[in-house]
Amino acid sequence: MSSGPLVLAIDLGMTSTKCALFDKTGARIHATTIQISYPLITDRSGRAEIGTRELAVAFDQCIVQSIEAARAFHGSKSFQIAAVGISCFWHSLIGLDSKGNPLTEVITSADSRCLEDAARLRKRWKEKKIHHSTGCMVRTSYWPAKLAWLKRTDKELWKRAARWVSAGEWLFERWCGTGICSPGMASGTGLFRSEELQWDTSLLKSLGVSKSKLNPVGETICGIQPGRAIGFRELKNSKWIPALGEGAASNLGSGVMSLDKMMLQIEASATLQIMGKGIIPKIPSPFGLFCYRVDPERYLQGGAISNAGNLRSWCFEQLRLPENPLDLELEMAKRQVPNHGLLVSPLWIGENASSMQERLPGMIIGLNPTTTALDIFQATTEAVYCRIARIAQKLQKIAPDSPQLIVSGSIRNSPSSLQRLADILGKALYPSSETESALRGAAVFALERIGYNVSPIPLGLPIQPDEQRTLRYRELMTAQMRFEQRFLKETKQNKSI
């Protein structure tokens, strides 16, 4: 570990919160890494929430345990934490009362109970015009549909709500006493004009939401509240940086900060994106992709899917797969092409995919008496990767020729998954050497804010695609798309009868 300031990084995810200390070079002190999990609460109505109490406890305990681990690591030597950086999953929504207490749980981007409200808004608004100005579509992932749904279904809550905030803003306020929304987090709401760096007052008026019910947008660095500092002498003079979006943090953490590189982060959800500097391009992102702010100087363009690692977890929970991870890895390495005869629509929960077909359900087609658990696992995995490939096709339209594709997240632990992904994308993959890119990105962002520039981390050896397997997977992708289109067409026809 180098001498100099230490920063505490916190990564708020949809199923866990992670925390660790980093030195001025962006190197993680592994002994201080803490992770605390919590459930994503789902049901058939489309609910996808995190308990506010569970999230707050995880956030607080991660900080406590990470600092305790740092004390043990340093022994009798005292240390100070110069800054605290926070990465937070985008699009979360919490209603607060006048005292700043939650009136709702954390409504995540995957929550699709506002499906009908999103459809109604699209009839009232010009979606492509809004996509051009906000970088967001009018879909269930974003705040407009969620606010419209809450206003329609819970009038008492709507009256009581004094403010609407993201999870990162709420937790920042609990520790620092100030409600601030960073430009990056604001740009993920669907209510922010990224070029002007201000809330879209016309959209707010249409929704019946006053600007006073949203936190001010800014990058004000704050200190910890005196009461919170008790017992944490190391945090007494720390500078807390308002939360940035998890996707942006992943790019920063992996050193993907220019248009010649593309970042793929796969955890519970997955994002594929590029980062640019300066003014957001006048040419809008292809319809179906997003364009968010990282900060006033940088922007992020790309696409996301809500169903990724969480489907892998579902398979482990529900299917009779080999219990030994090594045995499963060996079995999957043998299955290099899709010979299972299955088509999967991998939309177990509300989707934020490039197709943005919100009415598509999760489906497995082609089951027969010979179908095995491994067949379903393989087909589900391939379906997820095919949707990532569809985002890549859209992103190629605005990215330079053949940008280097950096991969981060839990997929790095599975060589067979990396090879399958490379084959489906038809592109070489470069694994990031940092297993926790969003966590490191929060540290890098905090270091930038206190005057330090962090060098990119080294990459692993490329995983090259196999040309013949890529051709097989293109056939699978085409079949998947045709099936989805046929299903939507038949659904529409049945509704009109």
Indicate if the pLDDT at residue 432 is higher than 60.
yes
Highest mean pLDDT out of 43-47, 180-184, 269-273: 180-184
pLDDT recorded at residue 285: 72
Indicate if the pLDDT at residue 463 is higher than 60.
yes
Indicate if the pLDDT at residue 497 is higher than 50.
no
Q: Which of 229, 219, 253 is nearest to 10 (CA)?
A: 253
Task: Give pLDDT tens digits for 138-185.
Answer: 999 999 999 999 999 999 999 999 999 999 999 999 999 999 999 999
Indicate if the pLDDT at residue 496 is higher than 70.
no
3-state secondary structure 347-396: CCCCCCCCCCCCCCCCEEECCCCCCCHHHHHHHHHHHHHHHHHHHHHHHC
Compute the average pLDDT of residues 118-131: 94
pLDDT recorded at residue 378: 97
The residue with greater pLDDT, 356 or 170, is 170
Residues 6+ apart with CB under 8 A from 249: 11, 87, 437, 438, 439, 440, 441, 442, 445
Indicate if the pLDDT at residue 13 is higher than 70.
yes
The pair of three-digit structure tokens given for residue 40, joined into one six-digit string: 């994503």
Three-state DSSP state, 485:
helix
Cα distance from N-terminal residue to C-terminal residue, the chain = 69
Residues 6+ apart with CB under 8 A from 237: 80, 82, 223
Burial group, residue 478, by CB count within 10 angstroms (0-12, 13-18, 19+): exposed
pLDDT recorded at residue 2: 57
Three-state DSSP state, 282:
coil
pLDDT recorded at residue 352: 57
pLDDT recorded at residue 210: 96
pLDDT recorded at residue 434: 83
CA–CA gap between residue 35 and residue 22 (Å, rounded): 15
According to DSSP, the residues that pair with 264 across neighbouring strands are: 272, 407
Indicate if the pLDDT at residue 353 is higher than 70.
no
Indicate if the pLDDT at residue 193 is higher than 70.
yes
The residue with greater pLDDT, 418 or 269, is 418
What CATH architecture does domain 6-245 belong to? 2-Layer Sandwich (3.30)
- Whether 171 and 12 have beta carbons less than 8 Å apart is answered as yes
Task: Give pLDDT tens digits for 294-347.
Answer: 999 999 999 988 889 889 999 999 999 998 989 999 999 999 999 999 999 998
Q: What are the domain boundaries of the chain?
A: 6-245
CA–CA gap between residue 263 and residue 251 (Å, rounded): 6
pLDDT recorded at residue 78: 86
pLDDT recorded at residue 87: 97
Indicate if the pLDDT at residue 268 is higher than 90.
no
Q: Which of 405, 393, 374, 372 is nearest to 474 (CA)?
A: 393
Three-state DSSP state, 432:
strand
The residue with greater pLDDT, 453 or 165, is 165
CA–CA gap between residue 337 and residue 112 (Å, rounded): 33
CA–CA gap between residue 387 and residue 376 (Å, rounded): 17
Task: Give pLDDT tens digits for 378-396.
Answer: 999 999 999 999 999 888 8
Indicate if the pLDDT at residue 456 is higher than 90.
no
Phi, psi of 304 (to 5 degrees): -140, 155
Residues 6+ apart with CB under 8 A from 365: 342, 343, 344, 345, 483
CA–CA gap between residue 332 and residue 325 (Å, rounded): 11
